Structure 1
Amino acid sequence: MTSPALLATLSGLGLGLSLIVAIGAQNAFVLRQGLRGEHVLTVVTVCALSDIVLIAAGVAGAGAALKAAPWTVTAVRVVGGLFLLGYAALAARRALRPAGDTALVPTEQSGRAFPAVGLAAILATTLALTWLNPHVYLDTVVLLGSIAGSHGAERWWFAVGAAIASTVWFGALGFGAALLRPVFARPRAWRVLDSVIAAVMTVLAVSMLAGA
């Protein structure tokens, strides 16, 4: 007979994957860093730990606090929307005016596939794409937290399942991106990817600002 704890864990795992496996700003950034092979462990770790913190907050009841102060979500929508518009503009610029080193081939000067980007800049972008996304709070804290509450005493096992889903997904997306590197050995592939990222970011930004 299946234990309630196992059922709650599997339920959290399934819901966590259904919420996180979608085209979005955070996933697009993790994929791009995985393809570049740059600070992948840092990006994956920050995304997974952030999700775990938000999941724990939702299960602990933070969703009720968000519902009581809806202006906080509105503020995040505005700031996040403006940030995504800026990121979309950068992606569009890369697509329209590639720097000439966007293929996965080493440069003569450094022997790297890309000019190095500082860890601080990558960390700041990862945190912004994670914590300035209002859907993170609505989906992870409010929705997931509410469903976790329906499991009663087993709600923390539900949280464990959701945390596993986030960790596995970001790890697979970041490190599994290496399998696509042969495709991105051509500059044109990067221009297509950046065009898609720019379009996705713009749509998300407009939807955020429209809902603010």
Structure 2
Amino acid sequence: MITFLTGLGVGFSLILAIGAQNAFVLKQGLKREYVFSVCLICALSDSILIYLGITGFSKIVVEFPLITIFAQYFGALFLFIYGLKSFYSAFRKSTRLDPSRIEKANIYRVLGTCLAFTWLNPHVYLDTVVLVGSISTNFTNELHIFAMGAILSSWIFFFSLGYGAKFLLPLFQNSISWKILDFLIGLIMWVIAINLLY
């Protein structure tokens, strides 16, 4: 039980920080747009990465740093473009008062963006693969119990964030709130992109 709770705690401590992926999930939750699919992709991706980390893939990442370097530069470019798009939404004249009336984006574009936020983020490899993988070595006899705790934290977090966003909907009946959110998301994307490069 202690091993499971440790895995759960480690998972939450790594995922709770406000990042590009979390901001994207929050926005999709507020728009009520493909929420289940987005949460599922994020949780599944984390599960795969955590499992790879505890089964030794962390050694490969450390031995072949090109994996994280590739993710670093492509991730920074992706975040810069997405941030630019968010700033454009924040400053354009049109308003988006009611999330239920927003025209839904193409599902393939949304899911592709979601996958990019996960797999082009070098911090994901360092956190879920290297860090969780390293910590898991302390639980050699209960490796899979530790992994179950860490994986469960991702599922709880993403689905809580995606579906819990509806409680903020009254605030987002105001177009100014949407513009502030878009601006903050753009800012988060650019800060992370700069951080990746430097």
Give the TM interval when normalised to the shorter protein. over 0.9
| Aligned pair partner of 1:92 in 87, 111, 119 | 87
Name the counterpart of 2:36: 41
Question: Are residue 27 (structure 1) and residue 22 (structure 2) matched?
Answer: yes
Q: Taking every aligned residue pair, what percent have the same amino acid on both sides?
A: 42
Q: Give the residue type in structure 1 aligned to 2:101.
A: A
Question: Are residue 72 (structure 1) and residue 60 (structure 2) matched?
Answer: no
Tell me the secondary structure at the aligned position of residue 101 of structure 2: coil
Unaligned runs of at least 5 residues, structure 1: 1-5, 106-111
Deviation at 1:71, TM superposition (A): 1.6
Deviation at 1:98, TM superposition (A): 4.5
Q: Give the residue type in structure 2 aligned to 1:48.
A: A
TM-score by length of 1: 0.92
Question: Are residue 103 (structure 1) and residue 91 (structure 2) matched?
Answer: no
Name the counterpart of 1:203: 191
Question: Are residue 14 (structure 1) and residue 24 (structure 2) matched?
Answer: no
Question: Contact between 1:148 and 1:156, CA under 8 Å: does it hold in 2?
Answer: no
User: Structure 1: how far apart are the matches of 2:93 and 2:107?
Assistant: 22
What is the Cα-based RMSD across aligned positions, in Å? 0.9
Give the length in aligned residue pairs: 198
Q: Which has the higher helix share?
A: 2
| Aligned pair partner of 1:53 in 39, 48, 51 | 48
Question: Contact between 1:58 and 1:141, CA under 8 Å: does it hold in 2?
Answer: yes
Name the counterpart of 1:192: 180
Q: Give the residue type in structure 2 aligned to 1:104.
A: D
Deviations 1:138-188 (A, max 9, x none): 000000011011111111111100111000000000000000000000000
Tell me the secondary structure at the aligned position of residue 195 of structure 2: helix
Question: Are residue 172 (structure 1) and residue 166 (structure 2) matched?
Answer: no
| Aligned pair partner of 1:62 in 54, 57, 61 | 57
Deviations 1:3-48 (A, max 9, x none): xxx1111000001000001110000000000000010000000000
User: Structure 2: how far apart are the matches of 1:208 and 1:79?
Assistant: 10
Name the counterpart of 2:108: 120
Question: Are residue 151 (structure 1) and residue 146 (structure 2) matched?
Answer: no
User: Structure 2: how far apart are the matches of 1:104 and 1:19?
Assistant: 33
Question: Contact between 1:44 and 1:174, CA under 8 Å: does it hold in 2?
Answer: yes
Structure 1 pair 148–98 and aligned structure 2 pair: CA distance change class (3 A): farther
User: Structure 2: how far apart are the matches of 1:151 and 1:116?
Assistant: 45
Deviation at 1:72, TM superposition (A): 1.4
